C-alpha cells in the first residue's frame, strides 16, 4: 500500500463511499491532477486551482455517482464535461465503460484528448459539439444507457440536452445542490414532452464537502419526439 498524502486521501474517500478500486486507478487520478494544473495555467480549464479543492469538489463529487450506481459495460455519455467531470473520473474507476465526453469548447476537448492518451484509456471518445447538435445525429440519438450532466443548468434545460440521447429505459442523472426541488417542479412539462420520468432523488455524501449534494435520476419511458432537441441555444433561452 502506498503512503503518499494524495494516495491516502483518495483511498480514504473511496472507502468512505464504498467504491472498489485498484492502486493504478489512484495513480491515474494523480496524473490527471498534475496535468490539469499544468494545462489550467495556459487554458483556464476550471475555476478551481488548489489541489484540495479539485480533489473534493471535482474528483470526489464526480465519484459520488459510483457510490450509488453499479455500472457494467454500458454506453455512457457526459454532457458538458468541462475538464472531464464527472465522466473522465468515472471512466478511470470503471474502465470497462464505453464512454463519450462531450464539450462545446475546443480547448477542453483538446485537453481531454491529450489526457486520455496520457492515461492510456481505451473505449473513450472525446467529442467537440453542442448536445443539441449531437442528438440530431442518428449515430448517437437514443443510443446511451446512461447520460450524465454536472453542468450548471436547470433540470428543464438539462432534460432537453440529455433525454434525446438516452435509449428507451435508459437513465439520465443530474448532479444538483439543495435547490433541485424547485427545478423539478419547473421541469415537469419538459419531462413529459421529452419522454422522461423522475425515478428518484438521491442524497450523496461527498467526503470533505460542506453542503448538500443530490443525484436526480430520470428514466426514459418513451421515445423523444423528433423535433427535440430544438436548435442550439434555444433550450437555454426558452426552456420547455
Residue 212 labeled ligand binder: no
Residue 131 labeled ligand binder: yes
Residue 170 labeled ligand binder: no
Handedness of CA 146, 150, 155, 160 (dihedral sign): negative
Burial class (CB in 10 A: 0-12, 13-18, 19+), 28: buried
Helices (H), 120-179: 131-134, 155-162
- Residue 180 CA to residue 154 CA, distance in Å, equals 8
Q: Are 123 and 97 in contact (CB under 8 A)?
A: yes
Residue 150 labeled ligand binder: yes
Residue 96 labeled ligand binder: no
- Residue 165 CA to residue 137 CA, distance in Å, equals 10
* Known binding positions for S-adenosyl-L-methionine: 80, 85, 131-132, 150
* Known binding positions: 80, 85, 131-132, 150
Amino acid at each position: 500500500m502506498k503512503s503518499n498524502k494524495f494516495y491516502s486521501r483518495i483511498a480514504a474517500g473511496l472507502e468512505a463511499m464504498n467504491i472498489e478500486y485498484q492502486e493504478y486507478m489512484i495513480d491515474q487520478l494523480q496524473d490527471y491532477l498534475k496535468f490539469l494544473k499544468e494545462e489550467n495555467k495556459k487554458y483556464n480549464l476550471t475555476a478551481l486551482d488548489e489541489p484540495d479543492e479539485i480533489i473534493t469538489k471535482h474528483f470526489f463529487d464526480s465519484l459520488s455517482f459510483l457510490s450509488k450506481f453499479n455500472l457494467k459495460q454500458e454506453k455512457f455519455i457526459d454532457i458538458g464535461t468541462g475538464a472531464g467531470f464527472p465522466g473522465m473520473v468515472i471512466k478511470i474507476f470503471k474502465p470497462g465503460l464505453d464512454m463519450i465526453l462531450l464539450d462545446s469548447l475546443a480547448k477542453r476537448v483538446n485537453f481531454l484528448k491529450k489526457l486520455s492518451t496520457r492515461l492510456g484509456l481505451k473505449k473513450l471518445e472525446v467529442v467537440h459539439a453542442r448536445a443539441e447538435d449531437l442528438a440530431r445525429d442518428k449515430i448517437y440519438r437514443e443510443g446511451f444507457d446512461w447520460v450524465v450532466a454536472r453542468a450548471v443548468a436547470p433540470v428543464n434545460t438539462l432534460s432537453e440536452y440529455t433525454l434525446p440521447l438516452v435509449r428507451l429505459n435508459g437513465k439520465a442523472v443530474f448532479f444538483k445542490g439543495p435547490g433541485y426541488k424547485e427545478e423539478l417542479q419547473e421541469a415537469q412539462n419538459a419531462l413529459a414532452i421529452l419522454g422522461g420520468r423522475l425515478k428518484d432523488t438521491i442524497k450523496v455524501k461527498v467526503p470533505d464537502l460542506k453542503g448538500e449534494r443530490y443525484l436526480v435520476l430520470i428514466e426514459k419511458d418513451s421515445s423523444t419526439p423528433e423535433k427535440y432537441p430544438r436548435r442550439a441555444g434555444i433550450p437555454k433561452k426558452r426552456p420547455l
